[in-house]
């Protein structure tokens, strides 16, 4: 079934759906997305509903399409005969678990604020993530008299329950890296980027809603969400992933996690010097390095601006997994994760976030038209040009 054959009146089609269908420049992207749907559209009675949701709401369906292809890359099979939760999964060694997908989306009538407050953006984003995770937990537990909660289903009972969440709650939500999910799940404040405490992270126990009500952060630091075994998270499992995989011409800005033992860093290495440094390699390749010390390691991030012809990214790049240490049914620690997947644990005894991230793990990525205007914007916003 063709995802891109309109099933709704023009007025009900999502702006993004209309754009990618009408722009010939996206011609190579459409078959990539269609391929992501393999198997997903075979569900009896569900395929038409899914296509209509894809065409009318777009973001939530794109996230499910991304996850569907990700299951294949994780060498997992999905039982499409089950309509709920979203993915009934059998992995290597017949390991079975369930995934419920959700996004923190914005209502269609939302008007973006003209003035931007980074603090308001972060508070609102973290509150949205916790709220959406709680909504799905309520589906599992049974809420407001729901007759068949997920926990009552035979293919769910006794198996890990995973919530896969992605942020789409504002026009810039995909720029949040992993800071807000770290706050929501482990109560970790964003790291200090300058000064003597560069790289250090504080802790935040709660945030206030606009009405003044406190909402708990760090929901995986106690047993209040014990039914959730793990959370899958990504800011790059989006339409931009399909654009990159199609290899159409674009400018790409990406951020990658970096970590190296000090004794493995080549003496005098320019790329591992502490602080913030900028490099230009070609007319379309720019790198900003952020580095700080932490014990016997140097950590930080690389921010790259480059042409899509040299940008490299797998489908699983950017996928992060957060394990709940209080889970009633823990996710198997011996699951064979591909090397590009970033794993996150919480040390209950020491109250610490343990990041088992591969050096070079993708944290965020955005794509731009390959125009002089876009390049100028990217160079200015990343400190290579001064207005």
Instruction: Read off the pLDDT of each residue in 361-378 and give the average, rounded to a whole number.
Output: 95
Residues 6 or more apart in contact with residue 13 via CB below 8 angstroms: 6, 55, 56
Q: How many domains does the chain have?
A: 2
Would residue 350 count as lying in a domain? no
103 strand-pairing partners: 166
Would residue 343 count as lying in a domain? no
199/264 same-domain check = no
What is the spatial order of strands in the sheet that 320-323 belongs to? 77-78, 87-90, 96-105, 161-168, 230-233, 320-323, 342-347, 352-356
Residue-range definition of the domain harbouring residue 265 = 251-307+359-387
Q: What is the percent of the chain where pLDDT is above 70?
A: 94
Would residue 330 count as lying in a domain? no
Nearest to 371 by CA among 25, 6, 19, 3: 25
For residue range 157-188, list pLDDT tens digits in order: 999 999 999 998 777 777 778 999 999 999 99
196/292 same-domain check = no
Would residue 121 count as lying in a domain? yes
Contact in structure between 244 and 311 (CB atoms under 8 Å)? yes
Would residue 228 count as lying in a domain? yes
Predicted confidence (pLDDT) at residue 382 exceeds the cutoff of 60: yes
For residue range 230-271, list pLDDT tens digits in order: 999 999 999 999 999 999 999 999 999 999 999 999 999 999
293/165 same-domain check = no
279/211 same-domain check = no
206/259 same-domain check = no
């Amino acid at each position: 079934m063709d995802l891109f054959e309109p099933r709704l009146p023009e007025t009900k089609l999502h702006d993004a759906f209309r754009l990618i269908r009408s722009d010939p420049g996206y011609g190579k992207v459409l078959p990539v997305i269609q391929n992501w749907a393999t198997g997903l559209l075979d569900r009896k009675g569900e395929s038409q509903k899914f296509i209509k949701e894809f065409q009318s709401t777009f973001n939530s369906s794109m996230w499910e399409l991304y996850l569907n292809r990700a299951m294949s890359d994780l060498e997992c099979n999905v039982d499409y005969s089950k309509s709920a939760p979203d993915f009934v999964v059998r992995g290597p060694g017949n390991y079975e678990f369930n995934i419920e997908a959700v996004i923190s989306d914005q209502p269609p009538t939302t008007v973006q604020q003209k003035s931007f407050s980074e603090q308001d953006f972060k508070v609102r984003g973290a509150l949205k993530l916790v709220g959406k995770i709680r909504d799905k937990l309520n589906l599992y537990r049974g809420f407001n008299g729901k007759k068949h909660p997920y926990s009552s289903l035979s293919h769910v009972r006794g198996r890990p329950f995973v919530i896969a969440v992605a942020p789409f709650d504002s026009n810039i939500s995909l720029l949040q890296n992993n800071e807000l999910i770290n706050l929501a799940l482990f109560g970790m404040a964003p790291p200090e980027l300058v000064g003597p405490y560069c790289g250090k992270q504080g802790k935040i126990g709660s945030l206030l809603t606009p009405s003044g009500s406190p909402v708990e952060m760090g929901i995986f630091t106690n047993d209040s969400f014990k039914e959730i075994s793990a959370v899958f998270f990504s800011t790059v499992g989006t339409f931009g992933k399909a654009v990159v995989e199609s290899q159409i011409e674009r400018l790409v800005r990406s951020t990658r996690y970096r970590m190296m033992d000090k004794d493995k860093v080549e003496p005098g290495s320019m790329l591992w010097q502490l602080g913030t440094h900028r490099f230009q390699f070609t007319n379309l390749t720019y790198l900003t390095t952020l580095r700080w010390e932490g014990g016997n390691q140097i950590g930080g991030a690389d921010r790259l601006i480059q042409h899509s012809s040299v940008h490299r990214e797998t489908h699983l790049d950017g996928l992060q997994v957060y394990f709940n240490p209080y889970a009633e049914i823990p996710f198997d620690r011996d699951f064979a994760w591909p090397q590009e997947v970033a794993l996150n644990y919480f040390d209950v005894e020491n109250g610490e976030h343990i990041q088992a991230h591969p050096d070079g793990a993708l944290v965020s990525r955005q794509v731009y038209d390959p125009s002089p205007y876009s390049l100028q914007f990217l160079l200015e916003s990343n400190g290579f040009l001064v207005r």
